[in-house]
């Protein structure tokens, strides 16, 4: 019997973030694998997903094979928290009979506690058969059908794909690392305009989308960085504050990338959004958003989950996009390598381009002492359009003049070239393509 664990970290913004752990041999949601299960045997898988405290946690395993309707296949998930096992188990429930030729195995709802203690949570997933014999005609080969698990209505194949192509990040050793948005929310005030006083200190993700405060002119301001004066001549204040926050909140703000997957016009994409506490370039500003995008020529999720490779990679840099064919991209395994410009956080395909970018700033002496974050060293948080903080229309950092010294707008509200390009709503149109 193989058991694997999903490690879940609870973020202050109200998400349960699951990073991979357990049996590294299980990479894809093909829990019933080549040739079928042995009598009484079991198989398990690794499925990173995101959940919110207070929402029902349910699981459905879909088996695409009409012959499986007569086979006793069961699904079980148990949850272990920082204080030990949670005294409840996801038990099997009756499923609606699907119209298609497939079998569904479901669990009863489990409510993630709203007062769940921050820490690591493990979810053990197990699929097994209690039959003493299995008909020889029943085979669970991936070539004949697709299996997948959905938890809380999220297709877990998306998480497996997002993990597989998550980047390896090369950053200057003393530069800011990508963080969860909580690090800014916990250390900022919300202001409605440059001419008004703060209306909220330490706003929550839910408060950001209150119609009274969610305005294009609103912005998050870090008061501990004021008065800023001529900050272009002071390169240490923001870094000292950032380092102090990390020291005082050890483990609260892990290195984090936000992953968003979707399809449009017959093609599939994964976007990875990176939030930095500060942009320490010639145009210093609080907050910084950058992103990269992995593109596929098909939107067939089963084919992509089974290994159909990407065709193109796109990096954001200085308000534009740069693309490169997937075969020409430097990789560590399946992870594309990103060279991050020191201070600016612009993304580059090559080390030399990153160094040239950094020489344009006051960080040129740091470029040659890089550190690398691989996907197993950071949290991959899956996001969708309904995440509250994504709805915030304002700026993630103080609003200043000239505009290049202001914090950026969030991922859903990024507009390039004076609004002509929209990476969130037009994922294949915001950059010069290589295809």
- Give the other-Cβ count within 10 Å of 92's Cβ: 14
Are 16 and 52 members of one domain?
A: yes
CA dihedral 360, 365, 366, 368 (to 10 degrees): 100
What is residue 205's three-state secondary structure?
A: helix
| Separation in Å, CA 234 to CA 18, 220, 342 | 38, 21, 16
- Give the other-Cβ count within 10 Å of 139's Cβ: 17
Are 376 and 260 members of one domain?
A: yes
Q: Are 268 and 304 in contact (CB under 8 A)?
A: yes
Q: Of 129, 153, 177, which residue constitutes the final position of a domain?
A: 153
Phi and psi at residue 113, in whole multiples of 5°?
-60, 135
**Dihedral sign, CA of 44, 49, 55, 58?**
negative
What is residue 212's three-state secondary structure?
A: coil
The domain containing residue 403 runs over which residues?
168-413
Q: Is residue 256 part of a domain?
A: yes
Q: Which residues contact 382 (CB under 8 A, 6 or more apart)?
A: 48, 49, 50, 154, 158, 159, 162, 258, 259, 260, 261
Are 285 and 220 members of one domain?
A: yes
Q: Is residue 225 part of a domain?
A: yes
Are 250 and 329 members of one domain?
A: yes
Please give the tally of structural domains in the chain.
2
- Beta bridge pairs of residue 16: 10, 51
Q: Is residue 276 part of a domain?
A: yes
pTM of the model: 0.70
Are 18 and 70 members of one domain?
A: yes
Q: Is residue 419 part of a domain?
A: no
Quote the CA–CA distance of 76 and 310 in Å, as a whole number: 33
Are 263 and 122 members of one domain?
A: no
Q: Is residue 69 part of a domain?
A: yes
Query: What is residue 400's predicted lDDT score, i.e. its pLDDT?
Result: 63
- Give the other-Cβ count within 10 Å of 24's Cβ: 10
Are 245 and 105 members of one domain?
A: no
| Separation in Å, CA 173 to CA 75, 135, 177, 180 | 45, 59, 9, 19
Quote the CA–CA distance of 13 and 139 in Å, as a whole number: 44
Are 80 and 224 members of one domain?
A: no
Q: Of 121, 153, 185, which residue constitutes the final position of a domain?
A: 153
Q: Is residue 418 part of a domain?
A: no
pLDDT means per 10 residues in the chain (435 residues)?
Answer: 28 31 28 32 44 67 57 60 61 71 73 63 55 33 44 73 91 79 85 78 84 86 62 56 72 85 94 81 67 95 91 85 93 93 79 52 48 85 82 81 64 73 90 72
Q: Is residue 426 part of a domain?
A: no
Q: Are 185 and 249 in contact (CB under 8 A)?
A: no
Are 285 and 238 members of one domain?
A: yes
Q: Is residue 11 part of a domain?
A: yes
Quote the CA–CA distance of 139 and 84 in Å, as a whole number: 38
Are 202 and 261 members of one domain?
A: yes
Are 125 and 227 members of one domain?
A: no
Are 62 and 147 members of one domain?
A: yes
């Amino acid at each position: 019997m193989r058991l694997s664990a999903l490690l879940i970290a609870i973020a202050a913004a109200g998400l349960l973030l699951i990073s991979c752990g357990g049996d590294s041999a299980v990479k894809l949601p093909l829990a019933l694998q080549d040739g079928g299960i042995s009598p009484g045997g079991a198989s398990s898988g690794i499925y990173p997903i995101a959940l919110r405290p207070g929402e029902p946690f349910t699981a459905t395993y879909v088996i695409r094979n009409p012959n499986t309707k007569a086979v006793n296949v069961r699904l079980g998930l148990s949850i272990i928290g920082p204080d030990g096992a949670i005294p409840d188990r996801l038990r099997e429930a009756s499923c609606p009979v699907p119209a298609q030729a497939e079998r569904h195995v479901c669990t009863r709802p489990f409510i993630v506690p709203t007062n769940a203690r921050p820490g690591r949570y493990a979810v053990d997933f197990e699929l097994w058969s209690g039959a003493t014999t299995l008909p020889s005609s029943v085979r669970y080969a991936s070539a004949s059908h697709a299996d997948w698990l959905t938890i809380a209505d999220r297709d877990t194949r998306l998480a497996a794909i997002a993990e597989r192509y998550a980047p390896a990040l090369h950053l200057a050793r003393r530069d800011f690392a990508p963080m969860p948005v909580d690090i800014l929310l916990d250390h900022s005030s919300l202001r409605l305009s440059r001419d008004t006083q703060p209306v909220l200190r330490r706003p929550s993700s839910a408060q950001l989308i209150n119609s009274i405060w969610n305005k294009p002119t609103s912005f998050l301001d870090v008061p501990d960085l004021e008065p800023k004066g001529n900050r272009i001549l002071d390169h240490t204040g923001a870094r000292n504050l950032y380092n102090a926050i990390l020291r005082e909140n050890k483990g609260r703000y892990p290195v984090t990338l936000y992953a968003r997957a979707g399809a449009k016009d017959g093609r599939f994409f994964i976007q990875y959004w990176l939030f930095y506490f500060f942009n320490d370039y010639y145009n210093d500003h609080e907050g910084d958003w950058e992103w990269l995008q992995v593109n596929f020529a098909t939107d067939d999720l089963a084919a992509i989950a089974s290994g159909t490779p990407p065709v193109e990679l796109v990096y954001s840099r200085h308000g534009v996009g740069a693309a490169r064919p997937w075969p020409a991209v430097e990789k560590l395994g399946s992870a594309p390598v990103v060279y991050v410009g020191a201070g600016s956080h612009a993304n580059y395909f090559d080390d030399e381009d990153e160094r040239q970018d950094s020489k344009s700033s006051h960080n040129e002496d740091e470029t040659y002492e890089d550190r690398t974050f691989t996907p197993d060293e950071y949290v991959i948080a899956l996001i969708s359009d309904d995440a509250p903080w994504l709805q915030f229309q304002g700026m993630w950092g103080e609003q200043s003049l000239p505009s290049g010294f202001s914090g950026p707008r969030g991922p859903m509200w990024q507009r390039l070239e004076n609004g002509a390009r929209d990476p969130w709503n037009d994922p294949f149109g915001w950059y010069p393509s290589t295809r």
